[in-house]
Structure 1
Amino acid sequence: MSELHHFGWYAASIKKHLPQDVFKPVPARLFGGLAYLTIVIGSFLLIGLFDLHLLLNLALSFIIGASFAGMGFLGHEILHGTVVRKPWLRDILGAIAFWPLSTGPKLWRKWHNITHHVHTQHGDDDPDAWPTLEKISKMKGFRLVYRLPLRIRATFSFASLAIQFTAHSLKMFTVYIKEFKPRKQPAVLFQTLAPWITWIGLLFIIGFQNWLFAFLIPLLIGNFIVMAYISTNHRLNPLVPVNDPLANSLSVTVPKWVNVIHFNFSYHTEHHLFPGMSSKYYPLVKEHIKSMWPERYHEMPMAKALKALWQTPRVYFDDNELVDPRKAETYGSLGNGLDPSNIQSRSYKD
């Protein structure tokens, strides 16, 4: 791996080449959120008021789930302050956008903006980083899991993408609630519980079968779509002592229309360089990165990144390698010998 640089070093190098307008909020992004909200409410009404065929209900479930994911991507952008700047309005709109995924704005900003972005892929300080071999060796439950063959673990890991965002969000609540000042903790608790009260209340209003199609299945779909991106953001990259986005982050490529409906969430390295910039302008940032540091920039098609995740373990060994404890084999990470087109392992006892 080449010499590491802090994200501020890259940002300063690029910023002087960018027009000042790219640092202004883009409230027009809210029209996308309004479209998603309209689709969700309309689909709820169709499922709740009409006795639809099973296949039509499933189709609506997928549409709602995709909308849940799209709202989550917009919520992520809103809570970075790139859509509106007034804190009270930012938090209200962010809460609405994250309501389907049941994540409160205060918790999200503490967990994601303040902690993850500042300590990205730091083995001890990033709440989203995967553990090292040393850490899992002290966790009895994890040791049992890692006795399973890699392909079986990978299959279960991919299936778990359908619940991972929701599960991790609840875990982050338990981790960070005590770090808020006592006077702010009730608001954080309310923001966490209110969406769940809404969704459980919906169950009693429309009945279990309709709720299954209107919320539960869409929640699983929304989780999977969101986590398909999040799982590629950093999990193939090394753990690093310096927050270097060109070393610790991966941008994936998807069709242009997917970038439109997902608010350019695929541009993840760009996001870590300029989290306060609307993702609308990330293609411009990407052009500058690729012209200035083409050998350091990591990108690949989404499908290829997911396949690489399935073929490699999620435990770190010496920060730069991934290790399968069961077979004592290591795999490179991006920038450290990992070739996604030809994934090879070696014994770490060599």
Structure 2
Amino acid sequence: MNSAKMLISLDETGEGETLTHQSVYVKKLRPLLPSDAFEPDPSKLAILLINIGILLLGWGIADNLDRWPVYLLWLYLPLAAIMGNSIIVLLFSSHDLMHGSVQKKSPLTYPIAFLGLSMLLMPPTQWKSLHNLVHHNNTNSLADPDRNYLYQQTDTWGKWIQNLFVPSVEVNPLWLIVGMAGSWAVHNFRNLSSVLLFNDKSVDYVPAAFTVSPKDRLKIALECLGILGIHLGVLFYLEFNPIKVALAYILPIAIGHAGAMFYIYTNHMGCRMTSINDPLINSASLRVPKIIDLLHFNFSHHTEHHIFPSINSNYYPRVQELLQIHYPDRMNLIDAGQAWRLLMETPRHYQDQVTFTDSSGTMAVNCSIVEEFKNG
């Protein structure tokens, strides 16, 4: 069945809400922002390189872990956590770099993005197509590969793994822990295999298949080999020593991927679907401690990012202020803890554009439940 026919329309649900296209918000808010907000911020490039340095330093120290007494190995754990945060920072700084908010077009953009995304196992050419073009232009719609699965979609291996891993009222806590560390890799593999093996929109084990040009398909394949080479290089440097690999490779990557997935889960998966790209409805922004925003380039301001993808992220708080002035109580702005609780208390499939249901189709929860959490 065509996926477009799987959903009943907003009008048919009786719960339709007037949607506003992203371009309308841009037209309204762009004149209210300073021109500096749209100038590249090269300081984030320096931060990206510093965090690559942190990983190199961590691996350098780990090279001697086999000489440490067993009872002192715990002293490496804080460094592993810092390395995990560096992987998150590399994702977000590379994200800004690929959106053009870090530097103007430069031959260095591609190789730096390649290094920045390598620990995330993400080929930059795939990122540009999947994230910049497809996700941003079709956010939380039928065509968005990053959305929840529809209940009506075929029960494929991709859907089964998502049922097993993602936060929901059904998830087993042990599988959730595994999923926090492993879902990023699953998401990557799902989309990579779809593009490299089939490159066809009929692929059914992804929420929404996308295609790339033959040239980009070849680039993605070559980038995968390069990323594999980097990871093998790290493992060879660590001599495949179990202690070194566990503490300096697996643990930092698990922490980094879990941190990234927390944001990714809460960005859109608790929101309703939209046929018109309305970031105030299909995206969510989080309230987090200021130190987190400082470390992660204000990535919690995700609605703001979807309105102005290429703006300097330092100005996201100003965009939020303008949204609250001109569109009061419309955006999904909630505490990070509340956003997580929302995901854990609701099922994770779309029965239709405004209703969540569980894997058996027996539950029905209105997606507007997010309204109860915004000020709760």
1:98 maps to 2:132: no
RMSD: 2.5
Distance 2:157 2:316 in 1: 43
Q: 2: CA distance between counterparts of 1:276 and 1:113?
A: 10
- Read off the aligned partner of 2:372 and give its amino acid letter: D
Task: For 1:275 and 1:340, locate their aligned partners in 2 and report how far apart those are by CA, in whole Å.
Answer: 26
For 2:26 and 2:320, how far apart are their aligned partners in 1?
Answer: 12
Cα distance in 2 between the residues matched to 1:146 and 1:285: 35
Matched, 1:81 2:100: yes
Aligned twin of 1:302 = 336
Residue 270 in structure 1 maps to residue 288 in structure 2: no
Query: Do residues 4 (structure 1) and 19 (structure 2) align?
Result: yes
1:239 is displaced (CA, Å) by 0.8
2:200 equivalent to 1:181: no
Partner SS, residue 365 of structure 2: strand
**Which position in structure 1 is the counterpart of 2:149?**
131
User: Kindly tell me: are residues 141 and 44 of structure 1, through their superposed partners in 2, closer, same or farther at Cα, counting changes over 3 Å?
Assistant: closer
Residue deviations 1:14-49, cap 9 Å, x none? 011111121111111122213212221111111113
1:106 Cα deviation after fit = 0.8
* Cα distance in 1 for residues equivalent to 2:132 and 2:121: 17
Tell me how far apart the structure 2 counterparts of residues 234 and 215 of structure 1 sit (CA, whole Å): 29
Which residue number in structure 2 is paired with residue 201 of structure 1?
233
CA contact (8 A) 2:163 2:359 kept: yes
Partner Cα distance (2:46, 2:137) in 1: 30
CA displacement 1:44-76 (0-9 Å, x = unmatched): 111113434221232222121111111111111
Q: Distance in 1 between matches of 2:109 and 2:193?
A: 24
Q: 1:43-122 counterparts in 2 under 5 A? A: 43-50=58-65, 51-52=67-68, 53-122=72-141
* 253-262 or 27-36, which deviates more: 27-36
What's the CA shift for 1:340?
Answer: 3.1
Report how many aligned residue pairs link the two structures.
339
The aligned residue for residue 5 of structure 2 is: none
1:346 alignment counterpart: none
Pair 92,141 (structure 1): closer, same or farther in 2 beyond 3 Å: closer
Report percent identity of matched pairs.
Answer: 28
TM-score by length of 2: 0.83
List structure 1 runs of 4+ shifted beyond 6 angstroms.
143-147
Equivalent position amino acid for 1:62 in 2 = A
- The answer to whether the aligner puts 1:26 opposite 2:26 as a matched pair is no
Structure 2 spans left out of the alignment, 5+ residues:
1-15, 200-210
C-alpha separation in 2, matches of 1:144 and 1:35: 35
Note closer, same or farther for the CA distance 1:145–1:188 as it changes in structure 2 (3 Å cut): closer
TM-score, scaled to structure 1: 0.89
Runs of 5+ in structure 1 lacking a partner? 344-350
SS class of match (2:338): helix
Describe the shift of the 1:213–1:249 C-alpha distance in structure 2 as closer, same or farther (beyond 3 A): same
